[in-house]
Structure 1
């Protein structure tokens, strides 16, 4: 925000005339398209799974979550490889049927890809809302003479509307933060504008000005999301175990819809990535192996350090509750709402200025920018909220009487951490570390903009190849990222499967 308080007239004039109108317009239409698409698709699937009975419902309940494992840029690589004009599928359709497939590298294609990548955010929260309110709301409406569609529209949907709005706002924040998918489609948004200003124009001032405008948009979305969560309170009607509405023969249409979404959003992209990856398996050279090693190393270091930091913050909030620890906890867990490009430029510039001042004032050469330490700090800020949730939840399950008993027996300090906390929190630590590990593997803008020289990762390889138009060669690193991302999502869905 400080960038807006010290404007450069020439820079601002250029931004307002040539950059911001196009970037803001592109971002607006992308947010509108993806928000509407995910709200409709996620809500429809959630209503079918939570309120209706049809063949394969229990299986589809967790299969529909799995596309969450595929980052938008991975799905973009797969869809461009499938539906681009020169792709084999497009050529086959053109030669066999005489049809020209719609241009995939367009705004509509990008909206479709990101809708398929992000609809699980709405699906998960809407399914929970529909399941919590119980199917008895539908039963009561039917008893009043309403048809199935009218009963859903007037009874179930209004009760779930705050959840749907909250999930859609999360989708909008993810869409605003996306860098890889929009880059693959060559679609300029705030994130790509920040990157181009920094690395193409070599102007950190311009990047900061764009980032400041983007921050205003982020703050507006965060405020809307907070307001929507404040409205999430209602009395459930009946109980979640109420009888679901049997669809009879029409249930096969519901099964077909769910199968189509799973096939298009998950199975077809994975098959395309596997096909292209197998064709370019020879690319697995020493540089490629170094990228895999770098990605795994960065993810492992970020997972350990972020989980430890989350435990320290959660433990301090539990042992010393109050305004200070509560405020620190809230501030330190806000980073997940910041887009990676914005966080990168916002962290790099003040650190670079501090290093320069330190050298000029005291002669100390402390070069932090462009180093591994600052990159790990950025990961920690971005993903601390991801680690904090399971760790804080695990701490809440440790009874205070157990800790008091250990102190009476003389088990305090590090011994208490080793003998009491560690055995009881191993599962929470593993969950937190796994989530941070996978998110770090998928993170593109922070890694691309802040990595040390020569530290290529799988995500940066995907960017480099798609930037050069080598979408088939980008399939191999994309497939590796997708397979790693499937691990925590499958674990999460298996844990929740009995609830559906």
Structure 2
């Protein structure tokens, strides 16, 4: 009995020691997420006081105004499109509804900068749309007839909204589906019309979901650099990039980045403040969705047409145009060696970053499970900090920190060994991998944590009584039961790494191009046809997580 007690004590002591190792690893990962923010404050503080006044007068005020207008317009439009389409496919039954349910997610597969790139080519005065209109109206040249230019604020708001509305559609539809049927049916018995039912019952109940979706869409708006620059909108993100790259003013770029970071914090705080009194009083597990109204004939066709509009404009039109242009380019010149190299760079970089992001996310989430303390929750939030930061801000912070470390390594190598290492970390691509880790770690942590939360705690107790330690319990119990969650998280991270533009532009090594940076360069030069294949490849890969989301969304509450 004494031997058994001593073994148990030794086993418990070993478990705690190894648990501390996992905590230290999580602390290191969380610390890495804080480094870019600290570096930004350090670099911004090096700027003179006069620099602040100059930036505020000539750059910040105008860019902040442009960003505010764009965010307001995108917020209103994505809320309107996302909520109305979610209600349409939930409250009504009509031919094609089941196709619309998943097809409305398709714009998520197209990055904002690709949509802007495609529409700039589509709606160019010599492009297919305006050429067809002139042919129908009998005009022979753009001097006689041309549509208004989309390179303005209205164009940017419209195109961004067509891509980002699914961020509202997804949570709003989930909320409409899980609302208790009796609330809707009671409203019907009280004589509430369909329009009143939406405005007085369904919409107020879905406000928390809509607020979350709008905040996510606005985060993506702040993160955008390609679409804003292509469409002539000088947002804060574009100003950061031009201040550093064009003017070589690193302190100024850092100061603008802090202003953008404060805007992000204000946005998150506002979203949480708006939902502070919102509570869910109905259990989703016991709720059932109400019986939808059946529409047939012209009414059904009108509903289908309305639901198809955002799909056609946000996905079908740009994807079809890219397919046609890519095929023409392939027939004319085939696949160039440079494009194949860029595709290989994109795949290798994204795959390597995905592996690292999944491992770090697993460490943080698993540590929070084996050490269920409040401090670990704080570590999880700190580890997810990078996802809330625009890619340009994050990349600039990493550039400052890693650049300083590169210079220190170079000086040390010269003093000790007599040779220069140059930009070792930036030149090797490690800095870019660091940016991907910081940017997308939140996806990995959230997904792994959700997967682990479905595993009963009794499994952990059983594994410990069988003699498994911290690592053994992970390999034998948690990983086998979380494979599907890890695979889904890996897919999302891989696709996001492929699409990431702003961080890649700032941190990629010299003479290193990805599909995203290749597309950006060609669009900036106005040679749209040269980048069609790269754009189409990104869109095709981006469809994969949309398929995953559509499959998850098929699980509906039981109909009455």
**What TM-score bracket applies, with the shorter chain setting the length?**
over 0.9
CA contact (8 A) 1:170 1:225 kept: no
Q: Deviations over 1:360-417 (max 9, x none)?
A: 5794768434442221111111001111122111212222332333333334354443
- Cα distance in 2, alignment partners of residues 406 and 369 from structure 1: 44
Structure 1's unaligned 5+ residue stretches are none
Q: How far 1:105 sits from its partner (Å)?
A: 2.0
- Cα distance in 2, alignment partners of residues 107 and 86 from structure 1: 22
Shift >6 Å, 4+ stretches: none
The 5 Å alignment of 1:459-474 reads: 459-474=516-531
Is 2:139 the counterpart of 1:93?
A: no
TM-score, length-normalised on structure 2? 0.84
Asked which structure has the greater CA Rg, the reply is 2
- Cα distance in 2, alignment partners of residues 324 and 138 from structure 1: 42
Q: Deviations over 1:195-252 (max 9, x none)?
A: 1111111111111111111111111112123334544423249933321233444232
- Cα distance in 2, alignment partners of residues 34 and 302 from structure 1: 31
- Cα distance in 2, alignment partners of residues 422 and 498 from structure 1: 25
Q: Deviations over 1:398-437 (max 9, x none)?
A: 2233233333333435444333333222212211111110
Distance 1:418 1:3, change over 3 A: closer
Q: How far 1:475 sits from its partner (Å)?
A: 1.7
Distance 1:148 1:400, change over 3 A: closer
CA contact (8 A) 2:95 2:296 kept: no
Q: How far 1:12 sits from its partner (Å)?
A: 2.6
- Cα distance in 1, alignment partners of residues 114 and 191 from structure 2: 48
Is 2:196 the counterpart of 1:145?
A: no
CA contact (8 A) 2:176 2:289 kept: no
The 5 Å alignment of 1:291-310 reads: 291-310=342-361
CA contact (8 A) 1:138 1:152 kept: no
Work out which of the residue numbers 394, 400, 423 in structure 1 matches 2:451.
394
Q: Deviations over 1:302-322 (max 9, x none)?
A: 110000111111111000111
The 5 Å alignment of 1:146-295 reads: 146-236=192-282, 239-249=287-297, 250-281=299-330, 282=333, 284-295=335-346
- Cα distance in 2, alignment partners of residues 355 and 229 from structure 1: 44
Query: Where does residue 66 of structure 1 map in the other structure?
Result: 106
SS of 2:279 mapped into structure 1: coil
SS of 2:512 mapped into structure 1: coil
SS of 1:298 mapped into structure 2: helix
- Cα distance in 1, alignment partners of residues 527 and 279 from structure 2: 49
TM-score, length-normalised on structure 1? 0.94
- Cα distance in 2, alignment partners of residues 102 and 434 from structure 1: 40
- How many pairs were matched up? 500
Distance 1:65 1:118, change over 3 A: same
Q: Deviations over 1:82-111 (max 9, x none)?
A: 112120221110231366433222222211
Aligned-residue RMSD, C-alpha: 2.2
Of residues 57-66 and 18-27 in structure 1, the stretch that sits farther from structure 2 once superposed is 18-27
The 5 Å alignment of 1:301-380 reads: 301-357=352-408, 363=415, 367-380=424-437
Q: How far 1:123 sits from its partner (Å)?
A: 0.7
- Cα distance in 2, alignment partners of residues 168 and 190 from structure 1: 19
